[in-house]
Amino acid sequence: MGPPNRATDLLRLEEIAARLRIEIIEMLGKAGSGHPGGSLSVIDIVTCLYFSKMRHDPKRPEWPERDRFILSKGHAVPAQYAALAEAGYFPKQELGTLRKLGSRLQGHPVRNSVPGIEACTGSLGQGLSIAQGMAIASKLDGGKFHVYCVIGDGESQEGQIWEAAMSAPKYQVDTLTAILDYNHGQIDGYVDQVMPLEPVIDKWRAFNWNVLEIDGNQMAQISDALDQARNFKGKPTFIVAHTVKGKGVSFMENQIAWHGMAPNPEQTAKALAELRAAYQKRFGGTHGS
Amino acid sequence: MAAKATRDAFGEALARVGERYPNVVALDADLAKSTKSELFAKKFPGRFFEMGIAEANMIGTAAGLALSGKIPFACSFACFITGRFDQLKISIAYSQANVRLVGSHGGIAIGEDGYSQQGLEDLSVARSLPGMAVLNPADDLETEAAVEYLCTHSGPVYLRTTRQKVERINPDGYRFQFGKAVELRKGEDAVIFASGGEVHPALQAASSLADAGLKVGVINIHTLKPLDAAAVVAAARKVKLVATAEDHQIIGGLGSAVAEALAEAAVGVRLLRIGIPDTFGESGSPEDLLAKYKLDARGIAEQVGAALR
């Protein structure tokens, strides 16, 4: 795999992620509630999936052979909505309706709301099992599609995650890649304090997964790991993606308070100014002003 | 025809429909020998998934299979599968996943294992979820026909089966009609709406009440949701007493469903709910338990007779 010009392609993905960060903040600012921390930590992974790795067609959202993406940590759905709109699944104007009465953009992912959402998630712990079922269905039909599932570190406190951790290797579900958005924060505090997850790599290795470890905010590392995962046979792959909660907005980074709090108008303006300045510095031109 | 447990009828039917419906798959949580999904597992090992004692993961996996075009039958005891309410709610119902949840060992009639293994709230739990159909077939023929039907139904379904043998109440060539009440016996004094393993005892009760000069009809409600409210209301308008009979809590199941339909239609007839009276189950032989909770023919006749006199 890999496009002829790797550097150009990575730059393209980074540019998209930088724009989607801006759209996430705009969305949450308008919504007045939601989860910026985990949306910003996961957006680089989501971008790499939708705009490089996944075989999908926004014009045919029910194409049976499409790759599937399940956001088990459903509260980060602004990241997925931004990516779906960017890909053309629905008009970008609709992003401004997030969490409003009558909007197709529900506060957590809902299947059959907007095209591209594959399952209802957000009650934590359930998405990995659903992704596993899809990945088994793929294997039954000759492995025509791959299933990607992002879980949270706080979410990993749910017992059902470990039920799926046990069963996917049993069925050698190599059509499944799970990615841990390891941003270290959850509502009540740091994961290490609320309920420690370490040693997380040892745990997933012990459960017999193919385990990779990356910086989940570095596009090159994300891209390489997703390629390795897809090509690995005989076991499901688990990618431990170290990320920064609130990545890209200085006053949100690693701050627990920004797990589930939307920015007020001033904070929104401040965050957007920062993200736009970073965008301009990196890619030139302006975006979304 | 000898009596047969509806779980046996289920297992045989599932193995049979597996031939005609290549998209049918099955999952179990270490109870395949009891739910009888093992009959499918033996015939189609590549389409059977033994998920171990992990019902939440089984339910989610079934949802994923369904959302990718398979027709999964996810099996466990009634109490365990509906005990995973959040998974039923989000992974199955909200996702509109085309899963057939099969709860065997419904009711207190499972006997000696006691309350923790008795599905006494399963119908209530399943019925509360938007879009979830709820089936409780009364005999082997009805169970087989329901399984056939479920291979083409669209949407999530909960299907309850019995551990104990139940007498056949339907004629040969019986045609199952989803959502339709089945009148088995007419009677002007009272009507008993019965479901699952309680249909046959209700018929026996009506027969013994006839000997005492009381004319009691019996209607089989195999589909609790969507309830055939029109048939329930029409039958209730003709009698002095309506009774419900179910091996389940009187809250949330058939008794509640009938009460809702009657109240909404302002029928104003007296309602007697026969079932587990908002208490826990217990150990005992099936016969002793059915007698204690007045769910056998004698107990039903006694309660309906007393209410009519």
- How many contacts (CB atoms, under 8 Å) link A and B? 109
Contact B68/A129, CB-based, under 8 Å? no
Would you list which residues of chain A are within 8 Å, Cβ to Cβ, of chain B? 64, 68, 110-112, 118-123, 125-138, 140, 147, 159-160, 163-164, 166-167, 171
The CATH number of the domain where A88 resides is what?
3.40.50.970
Nearest residue of B to residue A74, measured between CA atoms? B90
pLDDT, residue A80, reads 98
Interchain contact, B95 vs A171, CB within 8 Å = no
The ipTM is: 0.96
Is A91 domain-assigned?
Answer: yes
Q: Whole-number mean pLDDT of chain B?
A: 98
Residue B55 falls in the annotated catalytic set? yes
Q: Kindly provide the b/e burial profile for residues B7-42, where b requires at least 16 CB atoms within 10 angstroms of the residue's own CB.
A: bbbbbbbbbbbbeebebbbbbbbebbebbbbbbbbe
Catalytic residue, from B38, B55, B121, B198: name it.
B55
Give the integer Cα–Cα distance in Å for B198 and A183: 54
Cα(A274)–Cα(B52) distance, integer angstroms: 50
Report how far apart, in Å, the C-alpha atoms of A188 and of each of A33, A125, A250, A259, B8 are: 17, 17, 21, 9, 49
The end-to-end CA distance of chain B, in Å, is 36
Contact state of B60 with A140 under an 8 Å Cβ cutoff: no
**Options 3.40.50.970, 3.10.129.10, 3.40.228.10, 3.40.640.10; CATH of B4-166:** 3.40.50.970
Q: Answer whether residue B1 shows pLDDT above 90.
A: no
**Does residue B22 have a cis bond before it (omega within 30 degrees)?**
no
Residue A1 lies in a domain: no
* Paired tokens of A289: 């002003």
Whether residue B278 lies within 8 A of chain A, CB to CB, comes out as no
Q: Which residues pair with B76 in a beta bridge?
A: B103
Q: Does the beta carbon of B87 lie under 8 angstroms from any beta carbon of chain A?
A: yes
Q: Which two tokens stand for residue A102?
A: 């009558």
Mean pLDDT, each 10-residue run in order, chain A (289 residues): 78 98 98 97 98 98 97 98 98 97 97 96 97 98 97 98 98 98 96 97 98 98 98 98 98 96 98 97 79
Please report whether residue A81 resides in a domain: yes
Note down the domain range covering A146: 6-283
Between chains, do B63 and A64 touch, taking CB under 8 Å as contact? no
Is residue A75 a part of any domain in this protein? yes
Catalogue the long-range contacts made by A159-162 (C-beta closer than 8 Å, 24 or more residues apart).
A159/A125, A159/B56, A160/A125, A160/A126, A160/A128, A160/A129, A160/B54, A160/B56, A160/B57, A160/B60, A160/B87, A161/A125, A161/A128, A162/A207
Q: What is the pTM of this model?
A: 0.97
pLDDT per residue as tens digits for the range B248-275: 999 999 999 999 999 999 999 999 999 9
Å between A60 CA and nearest CA of chain B: 15
Is residue A72 in some structural domain?
A: yes
Structure-token match 């083409």, residue found: B152
Burial of B97 (0-12, 13-18, 19+ CB in 10 A): buried
Region of residue B70 (left: phi > 0; alpha: psi -120 to 50; beta: else) = beta
Please name the member of A126, A166, A167 whose beta carbon is closest to the beta carbon of B90.
A126
Tell if the CB–CB gap between A120 and B47 is shorter than 8 Å: no
Using a CB-CB cut-off of 8 Å, the residues of chain A touching B60 are: 126-130, 132-133, 160, 164
Say which CATH class B182-308 falls into: alpha beta
Chain A, nearest residue to B46 by Cα: A140
Q: Which of B46, B47, B60 sits opposite A129 (nearest CB)?
A: B60
Ranges of CATH 3.40.50.970 domains, chain B:
4-166
Residue A4's pLDDT is what?
60
Q: Which residue of A has its CA nearest to B52?
A: A167
Structural domain tally of chain A? 1
Within a domain: residue A288? Answer: no
- Residue A86's closest CA among A52, A37, A111? A52
In angstroms, the separation between the Cα of residue B130 and the nearest Cα of chain A is 14
